[in-house]
Structure 1
Amino acid sequence: MSETLNLQASEKELALRWLDITVERFQANMRQLRIKDTGALLASFKKQVIGSAEGRLQLQLSYALYGKFVDMGVGRGMGASVKKGDDGYDRIRTSRGRLKRYERKARKWYSKELAYQTKRLAELMSELHGTILISAVADALPETVEITF
């Protein structure tokens, strides 16, 4: 029973450290790509580790929704209800529908880093479980082994 509690504590500690590093990497990517108009996206990160009764560990990482739009290079323009014939359309858009003033450009601060960090978390967890398995087997072995021929 104590090994199970020790494993859960180790998993939770590993998950907390992984979340801290992941948020730091996301914020470093945003600074490098100069995604800090107001600083609200940088400050919007919230992280939490949730342990369940079944022994499964859940990680929760949240941030402002518009961060995904910055990553994809979309969302800078008019509201969804503005149509081609409405007032203000010609002021902001060309006849082909492109924005006159802003050029949308994807700034990949999220997608590549998330893929890498998810893979890294899987590696860390498997390494943790492997180490615990080896130590459990080593503890179960007898201190001395006699071999008679």
Structure 2
Amino acid sequence: MAEKTNVQIARSWAAVTFKKWRAEIKRLKIGKTGTLNSSFQAFVTAESGGDLTKIKMLYAYYGKFVDMGVGRGKKLGSGNSRLVNKLLGTKPRKEKVWYSKIIAKEVYILAQIIQENAGNKSVSVLDKITGTVRLEM
């Protein structure tokens, strides 16, 4: 089995994460145009700024507000008062958490995969060493 690089792992991970986001967006019935779904992009860079691998994930900016349940004048933490909504003739906004729960889990999974991959590479290197190793002090 060929060993995967961190860049290959990161690209595969981003594709799986996007698939999960799309499923959650569909389940929560977010959007009508598909703009959020089609806005997902991932850029993976190796050895960027001292990082082993850097992953930049982009999506339409308004998706952030849907996740938090804010927008159209509704501020974060302002509550959904029935009386205020009735007086203003507005409907309460409900957060539709499509991003934050999934990304928290997926980042943890990515860390585990990269850790396991590094461990496998170390074992592979040790398996290839033959003969005697001599340390002199």
The answer to whether residue 123 in structure 2 is matched with residue 134 in structure 1 is yes
Question: What is the percentage of aligned positions where both structures have the same residue?
Answer: 32
Cα distance in 2 for residues equivalent to 1:23 and 1:64: 13
| Shift of residue 141, structure 1, vs aligned partner | 3.6
Alignment match, 1:88: none
Alignment match, 1:65: 61
Shift in CA distance, 51/75, structure 1 to aligned 2, threshold 3 Å: same
Alignment match, 2:89: 100
CA contact (8 A) 1:33 1:107 kept: yes
AA matched with 2:9: L
Secondary structure at the counterpart of residue 106 of structure 1: coil
Cα distance in 2 for residues equivalent to 1:47 and 1:12: 12
5 Å matches for 1:72-83? 72-77=68-73
Aligned residues: 122
| Shift of residue 52, structure 1, vs aligned partner | 2.5
Secondary structure at the counterpart of residue 47 of structure 1: strand
Runs of 4+ aligned residues of structure 1 deviating over 6 Å after TM superposition are none
Secondary structure at the counterpart of residue 126 of structure 1: helix
Shift in CA distance, 76/34, structure 1 to aligned 2, threshold 3 Å: same
Q: Which runs of 5+ in 1 are unaligned?
A: 1-5, 79-93, 144-149
Secondary structure at the counterpart of residue 60 of structure 2: coil
The answer to whether residue 25 in structure 2 is matched with residue 36 in structure 1 is no
Secondary structure at the counterpart of residue 49 of structure 1: strand
CA contact (8 A) 1:47 1:59 kept: yes
CA contact (8 A) 1:77 1:99 kept: no
Q: Which runs of 5+ in 2 are unaligned?
A: 75-81, 133-137
RMSD: 2.6
**TM-score w.r.t. structure 2 length?**
0.78
The answer to whether residue 7 in structure 2 is matched with residue 21 in structure 1 is no
Shift in CA distance, 139/99, structure 1 to aligned 2, threshold 3 Å: farther
CA contact (8 A) 1:76 1:104 kept: no
**TM-score w.r.t. structure 1 length?**
0.72
Shift in CA distance, 132/101, structure 1 to aligned 2, threshold 3 Å: same
